[in-house]
Structure 1
Amino acid sequence: MAMGLQMYKLFMWATLLGISVSDARGKQYISAVGDPGMRRDGLRVAFEAWNFCNEVGEEAPGMGSPRAADCFDVSSFSLRHRVNETDNKLGVGNPFPGLGTEAVNNADLFAAQKELYLGSLCQVADTPNPWQFWMIMLKNGNFDTKSGLCPENGKKVPPFSSGRFPCFGKGCMNQPILYHELTHFSGGDRMRGSFNGTYDLGSDIRSELDGISFFEVVWEKKVGVGSWVFSHKLKTSKKYPWLMLYLRADATKGFSGGYHYDTRGMLKSPPESPNFKVRVTLDVKQGGGPKSQFYLIDIGSCWKNNGNPCDGDVLTDVTRYSEMIINPDTQAWCSPKSVGNCPPYHITPDNKKIYRNDTAHFPYGAYHYYCAPGNAQHLEQPVSTCDPYSNPQAQELVQLLPHPIWDEYGYPTKQGDGWVGDARTWELDVGGLSSRLYFYQDPGTPPARRIWTSIDMGTEIFVSDKEEMAEWTLSDFDVLYTSSPDS
């Protein structure tokens, strides 16, 4: 009876608010995204590039601010574009509607406000909230510790020397060269567009790619048929051995994962644990080598250690991530001999708590790595704390590996699931699993609401020893409520 009432509320909520309803394995779910299953002909897609600490730092020569968008409507086999290349090339010093005076010559603030401006051009009116675009996110893992650009757990620190991070010298944290193929009809009723480029300034990606970095995302769709298919490529080089490329569904306002500015995106109402699933079709063509931490699913949010929502104070806000890594070469750093790389406990689907010192029952192989926020005051020892520089504030990571313990949630259960040669459509109970993951909170504080403002897929090639290429396609991406957001 209770389940029937819940489904009735879900149906009425969808009907009254006019939200798209998706059919998943015979069940009716409401989509949290503006473009359920990526099936809308009039695509909305944007691009953002981040440096090591999720800022801009300095624009690449002639490229403008590293934010761009390709948004259009389709009518009678013609495309009406909402963003032009003048908009996409806007850089520091160039005015646009809504740009604040404090941001005109500040590369970090300019990019944040440019994203809002592009969002206003792409925005689609909808219920309960308007939405803007899917987001392609690219990140350079080089860190020049002598630059003074990145804070430590949100606190500004002076330049320092360290050999921990890749950097070929001054300028290693640069933004990329970006090329844009505006979406067009590429023959008959098939549409195609792309973003691509390189971090190696002065290189020509139209010739040989040997020795240089490369990224590309191509989107294609037949009018009125199926999902957009996003084809990704990411290549590292000697100068740029640590690169990340994701396709994200971000919140349409507020803070998205790892981003401490007002954001724009695809999630009309960000989902909350435990009441949502994620559906996506993934086909990994090339894995990107042994250092490629390929995320079947990566979810991000932000809340303080006392459980309160983030408010923009980078000294007390904490970015929270959970990631499922499907590269079979990625091993568990969590083990009975390295419990500091494990969360303090694991919670089973029937809500039993297993502590990490219970060597007979704790599923060590289900966890690649856990690290705690660097600003936490009451950590259980031993513990690993997360890198303090690669986010604008402290962060917490729960990185998972395929394991039988995740079977009830529809996640991979063994090495090789979803990897090269095993393309499939996944329906993941992300809400259920994320509701049972350990995340740090100060003792005696009320549990944080786990509202996820970013959901993405892609890879992080983590300091490769040689040039590596990852290649994959993604389609049918959807985020599905399993109960109404207010239930």
Structure 2
Amino acid sequence: VGQEAPGMGSPRGADCFDIQATDDEQGQPVYKVVHRVTDADNALRAGDPFPGTSANSTVTDTDRYAAAKELYLGDRCQVPDSPVPWQFWMVMLKNGNLDTTAAICPDNGRPARPFPQTSRFPCPGGTGCMNQPLVFHNRTALDDAGRWLRGGLFGTYELDATDLGRSDVSYYSVVWEKQIGPAGGAGWVFHHKLRTSAKYPWLMLYLRSDATRGFSGGYHYDTRGMTKIVPESPDFKVRLTLEVKQGGGPNSQFYLMDMGSCWKNDGAPCDGDTATDVTRYSEMIINPETPAWCQPGRRDQCPPWHTFRNGTRVHRDDTARFPYAAYHVYCSPGNARHAEQPTTYCDPYSNPQPQEILQIVPHPVWGEFGYPTAKGQGWIGDPRAWELDVGALSHALYFYQDPGTPPARRRWSSLDVGTEIYVSKKAEAEWTLSGFDILVPNKCVTSQGGTVSSCW
């Protein structure tokens, strides 16, 4: 968090509510929205006591307060369900600026030292480039006809902005809507917009389904979310419908599916030790302008191994059989002691702990998993409903482990869709996401006694 934005609450907020239904004089249903989270809840800042808690338990550290606020909001929003309660979808907005002279972000999970600014890490304007955004919230409400629920949030990183419509001002918005009543079975639709600016050229916006308990992708503290059963490779699929209206330019890494997990290099589950935990990410980028940096002459940009759906493994040195064009880039965790050389190590600053990233692009080898096989599939002018075998794919993908250690359980606590626009001035992206469902086989949900099965 660093510093909270002026006039804004700690950067965690929620919009959750109950729907009360009654009948009018003609016997037609009438609906009412009853909010569980107040504007005062969302405005809570570091140092404010959470309602219902002792003033002596106040948290003043901005980082710790944001984590505690997420748990507080989760309690306000929690819905009883089987096998466990759930809380909310997560809208994630991130600023890629890094002030290297401030040494705020850890270096592979350890305290960082300041160093001169480089072109790899933008910080236009210097001190203050890592600020939190302005956030404006339209609470979910019924339309005049009482049949559509709509809500949203929007804002900018330019703290002095007076006109959010200007093309040289960063901007983001997410609007959610759902029809209720007999015709309301289609679920929520999420409309997203993201625009970068000269001062904020590297921005990210995702809709995430995070685990309802424990660490979610990229976080080393307890979080809340929508995923009641954390899916595990290879036994799950993801359905979603995506329409990309604006792509965000050539540097927009638009993720049809981004999966996030965490395990140590010896295969053990993460425990919150940022020096030894490793965030594992893999993303399918569908922007047709995204190249395959993995090439026979740049094997440091490739994973050491590719595994086909039938289990056949091919090493990256096998230039006749390795599908180089299927990979945008691979980078090793910064704390990988036995990473196969040559390799590129991941950015050490953009996660609280070391990270490993494997980014793939449309290619025929991914077709067996339901993923796009050619550039342009699912892009602008080609809206699609997808059923992605994320479980089987995530089981086949390469992730680093120390030699001789037992394979990690690949449990994906975060699944999301959205874009990361990298260092682009005035780039704009717009997309609509709906029908986002994670499918887990029944055999992996319950046992005969109705309890969670041991396969988890």
TM-score (structure 2 length as normaliser): 0.93
Go from structure 1 to structure 2 and tell me whether the alpha carbon gap of 1:98 and 1:140 turns closer, same or farther (over 3 Å shift): farther
The residue aligned with 1:201 is: 159
1:444 and 1:100 map into 2 onto residues whose CA distance is 51
Q: Does 1:478 pair with 2:437?
A: yes
The residue aligned with 1:159 is: 114
The residue aligned with 1:64 is: 9
The residue aligned with 1:220 is: 177
Go from structure 1 to structure 2 and tell me whether the alpha carbon gap of 1:103 and 1:259 turns closer, same or farther (over 3 Å shift): farther
| Aligned residue type for 1:203 | A
The CA deviation at 1:103 is 6.3
The residue aligned with 1:410 is: 370
2:57 and 2:284 map into 1 onto residues whose CA distance is 39
| Aligned residue type for 1:202 | D
Go from structure 1 to structure 2 and tell me whether the alpha carbon gap of 1:427 and 1:100 turns closer, same or farther (over 3 Å shift): farther
1:430 and 1:456 map into 2 onto residues whose CA distance is 12
The CA deviation at 1:162 is 2.7
- Comparing 65-74 with 197-206, greater Cα deviation is found at 197-206
Of residues 81, 85, 88, the one that matches 2:35 is: 81
Q: Does 1:173 pair with 2:130?
A: yes
Q: Is the 8 A contact 1:99 1:110 kept in 2?
A: no
Q: Does 1:125 pair with 2:80?
A: yes
| Aligned residue type for 1:281 | T
2:208 and 2:228 map into 1 onto residues whose CA distance is 13
The residue aligned with 2:418 is: 458
Go from structure 1 to structure 2 and tell me whether the alpha carbon gap of 1:98 and 1:443 turns closer, same or farther (over 3 Å shift): farther
Of residues 140, 143, 150, the one that matches 2:95 is: 140
| Aligned residue type for 2:386 | W
2:152 and 2:191 map into 1 onto residues whose CA distance is 9
The residue aligned with 2:325 is: 365
Go from structure 1 to structure 2 and tell me whether the alpha carbon gap of 1:472 and 1:396 turns closer, same or farther (over 3 Å shift): same
- Secondary structure in structure 2 of the residue aligned to 1:158: coil
The CA deviation at 1:209 is 2.0
The CA deviation at 1:191 is 1.2
Go from structure 1 to structure 2 and tell me whether the alpha carbon gap of 1:103 and 1:209 turns closer, same or farther (over 3 Å shift): farther
Q: Is the 8 A contact 2:48 2:58 kept in 1?
A: no
Alignment of 1:8-27 (within 5 A): none
Alignment of 1:202-351 (within 5 A): 202-205=160-163, 208-224=165-181, 225=184, 226-351=186-311
Q: Is the 8 A contact 1:197 1:205 kept in 2?
A: no
- Secondary structure in structure 1 of the residue aligned to 2:376: coil
The residue aligned with 1:401 is: 361
| Offset from partner CA, 1:297-338 (integer Å, 9 cap, x none) | 000000000000000000000000010000000000100000
Q: Is the 8 A contact 1:70 1:183 kept in 2?
A: yes
Structure 1 runs (4+) deviating above 2 angstroms are 97-103
Aligned length: 430
2:272 and 2:202 map into 1 onto residues whose CA distance is 28
- Secondary structure in structure 2 of the residue aligned to 1:117: helix
Q: Does 1:106 pair with 2:64?
A: no
Go from structure 1 to structure 2 and tell me whether the alpha carbon gap of 1:408 and 1:75 turns closer, same or farther (over 3 Å shift): same
The residue aligned with 1:425 is: 385
The CA deviation at 1:98 is 5.3
1:107 and 1:411 map into 2 onto residues whose CA distance is 40
Go from structure 1 to structure 2 and tell me whether the alpha carbon gap of 1:101 and 1:430 turns closer, same or farther (over 3 Å shift): farther
Q: Is the 8 A contact 1:65 1:90 kept in 2?
A: yes
2:168 and 2:362 map into 1 onto residues whose CA distance is 33
2:408 and 2:298 map into 1 onto residues whose CA distance is 28
Go from structure 1 to structure 2 and tell me whether the alpha carbon gap of 1:181 and 1:352 turns closer, same or farther (over 3 Å shift): same
Q: Does 1:187 pair with 2:147?
A: no
The CA deviation at 1:157 is 1.6
- Secondary structure in structure 1 of the residue aligned to 2:63: helix
Alignment of 1:35-50 (within 5 A): none
The CA deviation at 1:204 is 2.6
Identity of aligned residues (%): 62
| Aligned residue type for 1:436 | A
Q: Is the 8 A contact 1:320 1:395 kept in 2?
A: yes
Go from structure 1 to structure 2 and tell me whether the alpha carbon gap of 1:145 and 1:98 turns closer, same or farther (over 3 Å shift): farther
Q: Is the 8 A contact 1:370 1:399 kept in 2?
A: yes
The CA deviation at 1:159 is 1.6
The CA deviation at 1:269 is 1.2
The residue aligned with 1:33 is: none
Structure 1 vs Structure 2 CA RMSD: 1.2
Unaligned runs of 5+ in 1: 1-55
2:112 and 2:15 map into 1 onto residues whose CA distance is 37
1:128 and 1:317 map into 2 onto residues whose CA distance is 28
The CA deviation at 1:205 is 4.2
The CA deviation at 1:210 is 2.1
Q: Is the 8 A contact 2:49 2:58 kept in 1?
A: no
2:368 and 2:251 map into 1 onto residues whose CA distance is 28
The CA deviation at 1:104 is 1.7
| Offset from partner CA, 1:425-466 (integer Å, 9 cap, x none) | 1000000010010000000000000000000000000111x2
| Offset from partner CA, 1:33-86 (integer Å, 9 cap, x none) | xxxxxxxxxxxxxxxxxxxxxxx1110001010110000111121001000000
